A and B are shown apart, each in its own frame.
Chain A
Amino acid sequence: MPITILQPSLAPPPKLRNVDSDSDSEGGADLEGDVAMGRPAKRARTQDSSIMTPGEIITDDPQWMRGHGTYIIPGASSNTILSSVAGTLAKTNKLLSVRPLRARYTPEIGDLVVGRIVEVQAKRWRVDVGGTLLAQLPLSAINLPGGIQRRRTETDELQIRTFFSEGELLVAEVQQLYNDGAAVLHTRSLKYGKLRNGVFMSVTGTGGGGGVVRARRQAFTLDISGTDEVSGSEKIDVLLGVNGYIWISKHIEGEGAAAETSGPGITRIEESVGLNVYSSQNDIIPVDTMREIARVRGVITALVENGLRVDEEMVIKGYAEAVEMAKEERDSADTLWLGGERGKRLANALVGR
């Protein structure tokens, strides 16, 4: 790759915090007797922003209830609610909660997640879904090859690695949550299962300047026949796991998470769950498709780097924009790279800046 030298840009002017640095200011400490004792001082919110920081008093009105990201001083009789994370305040009726600026993924029932098998146990797998604890996938929560409906026997337990083994990727849904926040997954749908023919990427989880947002549809198919170099009507599946793990792969008719609408019902599951659903062998992927997969990955990286949300609309728009950019710069060697200035240009075009 040729070396590009970016023009240096001016650093933003430093913010002056203590403007009153007169000769009389007492510096950091004050020993003249009044070291404030006792309760946390009610800090006046100097800036008129709605950002809450840890230890900040949100309200002492007893009518409010505390939600996530807040706490009350244990043992104290007062109803003072304080923030425990840095973030913005959210009100749901009388419930106060603080949404953190950035945090690890917290599973919720019904989430579509992409995960990686970390550990194989006797009757279950342990899956890394980017949360605070590993999720588990019981042997009873997967589809057997051929769609056979029966109890899982000892034979299945012995063959557990033929379904999923360590390091393999899968897409699943959160079925249940434990008290400590650990998730139980299931793959009992044609939409879910082992992943192949694609590329994995991970972006920061919920919150924190972009990342994958919970949306109506997390999995969709991109038509890449718009790029004139691609012959035929190739398609790409994009799977945006709510946990920030993303899978971009070649589309195969009647397979994958995006096939949910056209797939058969649970009654005919035997006919559609092929015998090769647990195959770890990739199909032959045309070079054009590979390149477009890489382009989609570049688009998502650019979205994250520029603090934009990652959802179906943004990815489709961003991909179309990236294809346009590539057509304009037909003569340049590398049109796939969407970092730095090019990424900024893409992001600006998307939000209309």
Chain B
Amino acid sequence: MPLDTSTYNLALLRVDGRRWNELRQQKGQLGVQPSADGSAYLEMGNTKIQCIISGPNERDLSKSTSSASTAPTSNGAGATVAVSIMIAPFATVDRKRRGRNDKRLQEMQTTIASGLAATVQGQSYGPRSTIHISLNVLSQDGSLLACLINAASLALVDAGVPMTDYLVACTAGSTSSYAAADEEADPLLDLNTQEEQELPFLTLATLGATDKVVAMVCESRVQLTRLEGMMATAADGCKGVRDFLDGVVRDKGELMVQEGAIGRGEVVSSMDLD
């Protein structure tokens, strides 16, 4: 379905009523699967992901179809991160079943695995242990890779795996297509499926709220002059996503402190030093 992008210039509102720099509504939950080592549920607009983590533990990878990546550490190899993505047949508007070795899925798995392996501090586990990340796409409406990365990041926090920071991702697009050759096109933040089909876009993953880019994927043709604006927009979107994920984790932690499940933490202040 072609998207009528001409209306954007009239009201500066996108098809779903957002402005250029607005993220979609997000919803997150930790510990949705009590029997797993870590789990999370994340919604970004209508993209809904459930992530289950098992591990770090010592199992062989030979049987699974997941893509694995080993965390590089200063003293030899660290823990391995293995990612497998499952897209439910009912996730898209047209019901379809995907094969196990879908090339696009495999590429996403590899991107996520290598991105997370660089973020996880795997040296505390040793080279024989593996963190299995299983991502289930329940509903798909654009920014899939970004949403998968964010969900995995949230679940890793729930699993108590040490990380340098949250790995957060966001997409950014441009208001006109490549063919329009419009050098002045505005960037757009957090695209949905309709926009993704029409407009050039990229997915950018950063380390927390810093501008350190961990992964960037751009599969569409776009003028080089527009790229910088898109990247800056995506990086800013990542900050918003990080704040959101951080809030989810804090709420959960505070709830647990309130319920007495964990002891109250101490506070570092300069007064303690004597």
- A contacts, CB < 8 Å to B: 15, 17, 26-31, 35-41, 43, 47, 49-55, 58-59, 61, 63-64, 69, 71, 74, 82, 84-91, 96, 99-104, 131-134, 180-182, 204, 207-210, 305, 307-308, 351
Contact = CB atoms under 8 A, between A and B. Distances in A.
6 contacts: A40-B208, A49-B257, A88-B253, A103-B159, A132-B56, A208-B31
B58 A17 contact: no
A62 B251 CA distance: 30
Contact of B229 (A31, A91, A305): A31
Interface string B173-213: 00000000000000101100000000000000001111100
A207 B126 CA distance: 22
Contacts of B189: 27-29
Interface in B223-263: 229, 232-233, 235-237, 239-240, 244, 246-247, 249-254, 256-257, 259-263
Nearest to A94: B273
B38 interface: yes
A137 B58 CA distance: 16
B256 A209 contact: yes
Contact of A51 (B21, B158, B254, B268): B254
The 5 closest A-B pairs by CB, nearest first: A88-B265, A103-B160, A55-B165, A180-B126, A50-B265
A132 B236 contact: no
Contact of A102 (B22, B159, B209): B159
The A contact surface, by secondary structure, is: loop
A90 B268 CA distance: 9
A64 B266 CA distance: 14
A26 B18 CA distance: 12
Contacts of B6: none
Contact of A71 (B20, B121, B240): B121
A74 B74 contact: yes
Contact of B21 (A28, A38, A49, A96): A28
B58 A27 contact: no
B262 A86 contact: no
Contacts of A104: 37, 55-57, 159-160
Given A30-B236, A100-B160, A209-B259, A89 B268 contact: yes
Contact of A31 (B37, B232, B262): B232
A208 B261 CA distance: 7
Nearest to B123: A180
B236 A86 contact: no
A204 B34 contact: yes
Given A99-B262, A104-B56, A209-B259, A86 B249 contact: yes
Contact of A101 (B240, B253, B270): B253
B24 to A, nearest CB: 9
Contacts of B254: 47, 49, 51
Contact of A55 (B37, B164, B260): B164
Of the listed residues A41, A61, A86, the one surrounded by the most CB atoms of chain B closer than 10 A to its CB is A86
B124 interface: yes
Contact of A28 (B31, B166, B240, B251): B240
Contacts of A41: 209
A102 B21 contact: no
B74 A50 contact: no
Contacts of A30: 21, 236
Contact of A27 (B22, B158, B244): B22
Contact of A35 (B121, B211, B249): B211
Contact of B256 (A17, A101, A204): A101
B1 interface: no
Given A31-B232, A209-B259, A84 B125 contact: no
B92 to A, nearest CB: 25
A103 B251 CA distance: 18
Given A49-B250, A89-B265, A133-B126, 11 more contacts: A51-B257, A89-B267, A101-B253, A102-B158, A104-B160, A132-B79, A180-B127, A207-B262, A209-B259, A307-B259, A351-B260
A35 B232 contact: yes
